[in-house]
């Protein structure tokens, strides 16, 4: 099997470590020396991971979707998973989870899609972050935007990927006013007098939420209504569900 640069470096580190164990070098070293060796190995591994991420960057282009994971995540033919930028759909067990997943599948599953990237190309889980486009019923559809437009996703901005943030908030406002999808349920939600936002995470909470109670004053933002928070591009807390 052919190996790329990072894989070769990783193998060399592993072989070096095993050789030290075989020769009982580690047994003769002090605890402090062992910690030092461990730190060096961890640094080397971190460097390898960084190199791998750099070498595995994608160029914008087309890819084939083999599976839809949920409303905002897909899997490509090469095994890569793609998380849609700028949106958030319901998690498993939440209302509209299946509806959002099914709508996403109708748009992209078993089709070639076009991927567009922003500033940050991968998240902390190693997934690609992309804006996704597909030909559907003879039209070019911007999938991220369409999910918000139909009320199946919330606008969810995570800097530095903010290219279409304003457009997503505008589409969300329209879907909310029309009571589409998630917003049909929102009309029945009990309102609070005020909502507390976190300017660092851009998440807003009910006042009684434990997360709001622990919020630092310098990051604390008060909204008079849920809609004010949403229009400011804040995302509802998944715990208190404002």
* pLDDT tens sequence across 45-85: 655 555 444 445 566 689 999 999 999 999 999 999 999 99
Tokens of 42: 């961890």
Return the pLDDT at 4: 45
Q: For residue 238, what pLDDT is reported?
A: 82
Radius of gyration of the chain (CA): 23
Q: Are 89 and 155 in contact (CB under 8 A)?
A: no
pLDDT in tens, 134-143: 999 999 999 9
Examine the residue annotation and report whether 83 is marked as an active-site residue of this protein. Answer: yes
The chain-wide mean pLDDT, for the chain, equals: 84
144: closest CA among 90, 83, 229, 202?
A: 83
**Confidence band (pLDDT; 50, 70, 90) for 205?**
very high
Distance CA 223, CA 196 (A): 6
Structure tokens at 171: 């589409």
User: What ranges make up the beta strands (E) of 18-159?
Assistant: 61-70, 73-76, 81-84, 87-88, 112-116, 128-136, 139-142, 154-155
**76 within 8 A of 115, measured Cβ to Cβ:** no
Classify residue 44 as exposed, middle or buried by CB count within 10 Å of its CB (0-12, 13-18, 19+): middle
Beta bridge partners of 65: 76
Give me the percent of the chain exceeding a pLDDT of 90.
60
pLDDT for 51 equals 46
Give me the phi and psi of 177, to 5 degrees please: -65, -30
SS3 129: strand
Q: What number of other Cβ atoms are within 10 A of residue 151's Cβ?
A: 25
Residue 185 to residue 16: CA distance in whole angstroms? 59
127 is a catalytic site residue: yes
Of the ranges 21-35, 44-58, 190-204, 222-236, which one carries the lowest mean pLDDT score? 44-58
pLDDT at residue 59, rounded to an integer: 64
Q: Which of 127, 170, 173, 202 is catalytic?
A: 127
Q: Which of 83, 176, 206, 226 is catalytic?
A: 83
Given the residues 91, 135, 185, 208, the one annotated as active site: 91
Distance CA 183, CA 103 (A): 16
In 56-179, which residue ranges form alpha helices assigned H by DSSP? Answer: 97-108, 143-149, 165-178
Find the Cα–Cα–Cα–Cα dihedral 41, 44, 49, 53, rounded to 10°. 180
């Amino acid at each position: 099997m052919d190996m790329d640069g990072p894989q070769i470096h990783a193998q060399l580190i592993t072989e070096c470590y095993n050789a030290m164990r075989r020769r009982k070098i580690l047994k003769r070293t002090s605890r402090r020396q062992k910690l030092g060796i461990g730190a060096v190995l961890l640094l080397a591994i971190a460097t390898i991971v960084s190199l791998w991420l750099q070498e595995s960057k994608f160029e914008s282009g087309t890819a084939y979707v083999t599976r839809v994971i949920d409303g905002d995540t897909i899997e490509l033919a090469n095994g890569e998973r793609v998380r849609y930028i700028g949106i958030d759909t319901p998690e498993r067990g939440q209302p509209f989870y299946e509806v959002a997943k099914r709508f996403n599948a109708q748009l992209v599953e078993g089709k070639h899609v076009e991927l567009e990237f922003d500033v940050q190309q991968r998240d902390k889980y190693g997934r690609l972050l992309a804006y996704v486009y597909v030909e559907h019923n003879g039209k070019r559809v911007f999938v991220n935007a369409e999910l918000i437009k139909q009320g199946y996703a919330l606008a969810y901005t995570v800097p530095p990927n903010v290219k279409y943030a304003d457009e997503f908030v505008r589409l969300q406002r329209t879907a909310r006013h029309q009571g589409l999808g998630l917003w049909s349920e929102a009309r029945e939600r009990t309102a609070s007098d005020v909502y507390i936002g976190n300017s660092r995470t851009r998440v807003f909470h009910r006042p009684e939420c434990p997360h709001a109670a622990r919020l630092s004053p310098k990051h604390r933002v008060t909204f008079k209504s849920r809609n004010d928070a949403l229009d400011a591009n804040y995302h509802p807390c998944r715990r208190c569900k404002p």
